[in-house]
Structure 1
């Protein structure tokens, strides 16, 4: 089939990228624990292997079908020749015996040609229907919906059933919104891997909605997101991520601009010269120290806590304590800063009690909310569950995840009281 060569090449390149990404994950977590990235790698590899197998099976099927069609033509031709020969023999016998000839018994040869054409038409139609969209599916069957009149859970628009996709949690997305989820993951680490309601979307979907360049970018971002101590090109006009295989010893080579980096100081290579002081970085670190910001121990991203408890989930997926920076639950630091706890209690009173509410009522609300917040981590939030969110119709509110202010359609977690827009609660929160 036309295009199979390029498809097989794209799938093979994806497998190589997945192998490199898997090697980078070894030794980064406790034995027996599997990260979201590892699950995504396994699922996507299964999808790619299934696609490769399906393409091979399709090639064999088409080859077999073509052979059958060719053999059928030959057999029909031989059968037609035999029929003509038999009719000629009967005609000769009739001439020799001077018997009257019954021309009505002479069957037209055209009947076999028509049968031949009908079989060829059916075979051709079957081969035409064997398209790539029929063979590339996710691990749980075709992601195409089987009902009509689908509504996209993201944009709420009625969409074409033949181009919709069903996520692992059962929600239906139109093609445009699905593309935005996968393309968004190449721009925003918090959206990787693409997921809905806490469940990773089948990576095989990417093979159906992204072109080769987009798939390549998706794989490259996955490798970048998995890196523990990321290195970026120090050339200001480049700043591309330098993958692990481009690093040797204390030096790395940018795959984009080919400039050489000196890793200890994160600057361009400077043979025979002492490492320069990065004044900009020192200013940022000084500000972070003043503002009490914390860096993720895994990806070194700077994090500022504006609301909530001291339990931080970095965009790379690692969890740590905002007070000391250690892995979450490996220290004895307090779960809450008292000022933030008091602020959230007062906020709950303003929202739930009327302006003329009795002092005892207001105090009861405050005590209940503060006590729940102090112990909410003992139960844990499952932000992927719809039942854990309540819609807050109280005018313009800010999403605490993306910081966008929306006039309405803001939800609040009934446990930790986090506020999030619909997109963030479905696709960002883990």
Structure 2
């Protein structure tokens, strides 16, 4: 086997491990010697000589094709046999019997599908399991999961499918099992795991023969929400705080509404953004792109870029369909707050910068 082509194959394996770590939020290792060698133009010119091993040559062509798709805007990738047979998360080539096709057309290998479901169990913002804003059909992907994970997801799905303000949990501190919804409940709810009875109205331990008073903690939370001018989602009644961006809110239950008045989006006459928050968003994004050293060295350029970005946000803040391009360099995902040291995906329209998982499975 030619040594150069062996290097290419080994670099491909290193890229695969790196992609899996990136999609799982694991710590990323430094580039291997093989990966650095593939970035050397002199070495790449040596690959022009045909490989004596056709199988290795085919793998090398695939790795180069995959690299070219990762540097192009995602929205401009043309449909092709190579793209349609790759996992959208890790980039692995897929066989029909080892893949899952989402309603949007993206394909997942079974490993990445399993990782997504596992992440959803611990991160409610990923529920319902979705890709490109379209929920995955449970009856289609559940049979592809290991039985233990499938059971855990089905149990958690019952909880996550219940509006947050209606969820009742066992008040035994060593149990805390989800008991169900308080809506339509006539009497105390009894935990089948430990036998603790809970009042569905105040969500505290049952208080027979005593008048129920609404949970003081809930009252305090609602008072704080009023004081801080937080909004309540009209869909699931979760309390939401606006940190940055426009007033177009998309809750984790997928309800879209106006943050000012809580009516369905674009069914009111409220302003669509807060000027102060919009300007802060522009500053943060430009600083992420330029880097703190560049900002300090060229404050005039930084300020001009901020003004230009703020003007862009005023016209494109309400992005209904993101169009992604890759931006190299370390930065923090604006959705999940994970720090990615190598690259993020940036929307060409609204400028939001996110990781691969959030671009596919969290945002609409």
The separation in 2 between residues aligned to 1:358 and 1:211, in whole angstroms, is 54
Q: Is the 8 A contact 2:333 2:354 kept in 1?
A: yes
Give the TM-score normalised by the residue count of structure 2: 0.63
The yes-or-no answer on 1:180 pairing with 2:115 is: yes
User: Which position in structure 1 is the counterpart of 2:145?
Assistant: 210
Once the two structures are TM-superposed, the CA of residue 382 in structure 1 deviates from its matched residue by 1.0
The separation in 2 between residues aligned to 1:348 and 1:193, in whole angstroms, is 29
Secondary structure of 1:168 counterpart:
coil
Q: Of the two structures, which has the highest relative contact order with CA contacts closer than 8 Å and spacing of 6 or more?
A: 2
The separation in 2 between residues aligned to 1:322 and 1:332, in whole angstroms, is 12
Once the two structures are TM-superposed, the CA of residue 400 in structure 1 deviates from its matched residue by 1.4
The separation in 2 between residues aligned to 1:413 and 1:177, in whole angstroms, is 23
Q: Is the 8 A contact 2:104 2:134 kept in 1?
A: yes
Q: Give matches, 1:49-64, under 5 Å.
A: none
- CA distance 1:206–1:407, shift in 2 (3 Å): same
- CA distance 1:265–1:204, shift in 2 (3 Å): closer
Q: 2:135 aligns with which of 189, 195, 200?
A: 200
Question: What number of residue pairs does the alignment pair up?
Answer: 278
Q: Is the 8 A contact 2:90 2:112 kept in 1?
A: yes
Once the two structures are TM-superposed, the CA of residue 277 in structure 1 deviates from its matched residue by 6.4
- CA deviations 1:112-150 (Å, max 9, x no partner) are xxxxxxxxxxxxxxxxxxxxxxxxxxxxxxxxxx99x95
User: Which position in structure 2 is the counterpart of 1:372?
Assistant: 312
Once the two structures are TM-superposed, the CA of residue 262 in structure 1 deviates from its matched residue by 2.0
Q: Give matches, 1:118-267, under 5 Å.
A: 151-157=86-92, 162-228=97-163, 229-235=165-171, 236-244=173-181, 248-249=185-186, 251-267=188-204
Q: Is the 8 A contact 2:167 2:178 kept in 1?
A: yes
The yes-or-no answer on 1:381 pairing with 2:315 is: no
User: Which position in structure 2 is the counterpart of 1:328?
Assistant: 265
Secondary structure of 2:270 counterpart:
coil
- CA deviations 1:208-236 (Å, max 9, x no partner) are 32245543443343333333442222413
Once the two structures are TM-superposed, the CA of residue 173 in structure 1 deviates from its matched residue by 2.1
The two structures, once aligned, show a CA RMSD in angstroms of 3.7
Once the two structures are TM-superposed, the CA of residue 389 in structure 1 deviates from its matched residue by 1.4
User: Which position in structure 2 is the counterpart of 1:20?
Assistant: none
Once the two structures are TM-superposed, the CA of residue 412 in structure 1 deviates from its matched residue by 1.8
Q: 2:277 aligns with which of 335, 340, 343?
A: 340
Unmatched segments (≥5 aa) in structure 2: 1-80
Unmatched segments (≥5 aa) in structure 1: 1-145
The separation in 1 between residues aligned to 2:126 and 2:286, in whole angstroms, is 33
- CA distance 1:349–1:269, shift in 2 (3 Å): closer
The separation in 2 between residues aligned to 1:421 and 1:308, in whole angstroms, is 18
Once the two structures are TM-superposed, the CA of residue 341 in structure 1 deviates from its matched residue by 1.6
Once the two structures are TM-superposed, the CA of residue 286 in structure 1 deviates from its matched residue by 4.6
Question: Is the helix fraction higher in 1 or 2?
Answer: 1
Q: Is the 8 A contact 2:346 2:352 kept in 1?
A: yes
Q: Which has the larger radius of gyration?
A: 1
Once the two structures are TM-superposed, the CA of residue 368 in structure 1 deviates from its matched residue by 4.5
User: Which position in structure 2 is the counterpart of 1:102?
Assistant: none
Q: Give matches, 1:386-425, under 5 Å.
A: 388-393=323-328, 395-425=329-359
User: Which position in structure 2 is the counterpart of 1:429?
Assistant: 363
- CA distance 1:361–1:240, shift in 2 (3 Å): closer
Q: Is the 8 A contact 2:324 2:345 kept in 1?
A: yes
User: Which position in structure 2 is the counterpart of 1:59?
Assistant: none
The separation in 2 between residues aligned to 1:296 and 1:284, in whole angstroms, is 15
Secondary structure of 2:115 counterpart:
helix
The yes-or-no answer on 1:303 pairing with 2:240 is: yes
Secondary structure of 2:346 counterpart:
strand
- CA distance 1:215–1:287, shift in 2 (3 Å): same
Once the two structures are TM-superposed, the CA of residue 427 in structure 1 deviates from its matched residue by 0.8
